[in-house]
Chains A and B, each alone.
Chain A
Amino acid sequence: MHIDNFANGDSLLHRLDPRIKTIVAVLFSVVVALADRYSCLAVAVGVSLALILVARLSLKQVLLRLLAVNTFILFLWLFLPFTYGGEELFSVGPLHATREGVIYALLITVKSNAIVLALLALLATTPIITLGHAMSHLYVPNKLIHLFFFTIRYLQALHLEYDRLRDAMKIRAFRPRSNIHTYRSLAYLIGMLLIRSFDRADRIRKAMVCRGFHGKFYLLSHFELHRNDVVALVCMMAIISSLAALQWLILK
């Protein structure tokens, strides 16, 4: 499993201070999520694409990730146009699609893609561990960061456990089919995985208690701001402010 395979590159964005990247990513996402003017969103998409280019990510990989996101959005397109009230645009049998519904679905599509692209360029270029440390330095609640770290640490262990169980089923000639036996066996697999994760969580807690854990974590890494980081922060803040201005200040 390579959950952080974008983080291995080398570019201006890879070298940027992770705290700056986190702040910029959050502000950018908030502004884009709230915006509904075309001018603002068009610029936002442009900014996201520019960031992807600066980050020098593999375009093929980026497209694959976008595909995953847009699969979800596809479902919105199946439902939103037909369930949103407003002026009728076209109809399929008894279903009537509205202009407002289509516009709404379109807005969501554009926004999600812009945000995902920006997150890929800013956050995916940071090793996950570093990202956790950056969040901690930005005063994100400790509990959230612990959950984040534990998820990363044990995703791998649980995935291996899943693989082992899967293999154990395979070597006894299990082949998934569309029948009760298959569903029951897969349910056993999931149940077993849950129980094992629970047991593991308990053992980890015990191991932590043995080493004197009392609810507090200490971080070792520290970051240092460089001139580039400050310049990047100022530039990105200017861009985000302009987006906000396009949306809320400049009259139509």
Chain B
Amino acid sequence: MVDPEVIIRLAGVTFNYPGNQAKRLILDDLDLQISRGERVGLIGDNGSGKTTLFHLIMGLQRPTQGEIVVFGQKRQEERDFREVRAKIGLLFQDSDDQLFCPTVAEDVAFGPLNLGKSQEEAAEITQEVLTRLGLDGFEERLTYKLSGGEKRLISLATVLAMKPEMLILDEPSTGLDEETVNRLINILRDSDFTYLIASHNSEFLSETTDTVYRLERGKITPPAP
């Protein structure tokens, strides 16, 4: 039975880094299901495997065991994950990893161009996304000269420019000032995205998500009442 509303379904996913001799697995027989329209938060200690979990969903790493089903299809090989990456946007923890083009406009246009959009279409999308995030006038700014908060917002723009059906945000509020955090909260609340957010900031999660899961000892525990 495939429920079209289910976007992500992980079943019995186990992961360990090769050569990791520690007794504990990073992810241990983990189950997770996220359906369209859900806004889920994920908390967990440092090193509890939140980033690893995201990388498994995006196909940047492969599970040692278990099944990853995204958009109703089992994803196993690099080829299977191309569609996942086009439809799910991942915001990285460190914006310096995400922004690599010389100018903001080029960076935002990078995704749409990879998806086969023409130069004109990409430029249009760039403009539209920057306007939506209140970042007009940033087009020609150099990515390496932006402030930390600006980098985070531009990174979000580069992800939104791919018109994803779902967002995964890895610690989006870390290292940001209050104003930028509020801006981020408003952007997320005003959107109708399905998203999954990892954060240590419980206030941020309660503002933006409906359910909060905890990742502990390699497993996901259901939300506290």
Contacts and interface: CB of A to CB of B under 8 A. Distances in A.
Q: Secondary structure of the A side of the interface?
A: helix
A218 interface: yes
Given A207-B97, A210-B85, A220 B119 contact: yes
Contacts of A204: 97, 100
A149 B106 CA distance: 12
Q: Secondary structure of the B side of the interface?
A: helix
Interface residues of B, number: 34
A206 interface: yes
B60 A210 contact: yes
Interface residues of A, number: 25
Nearest to A129: B102
Interface in A146-180: 149-150, 152-154, 156-157
Given A206-B60, A218-B119, A220-B109, A212 B144 contact: no
A104 to B, nearest CB: 41
Interface string B98-137: 1011110110011101110001001100000000000000
Interface centre among A150, A154, A206 (most CB of B within 10 A): A206
B74 interface: no
A203 B92 contact: yes
B38 interface: no
Interface of B: 55, 58, 60, 82, 85-86, 89-90, 92, 94, 96-98, 100-103, 105-106, 109-111, 113-115, 119, 122-123, 142-144, 158-159, 162
The 9 closest A-B pairs by CB, nearest first: A212-B114, A211-B111, A129-B102, A203-B97, A218-B113, A207-B98, A156-B144, A206-B60, A210-B90
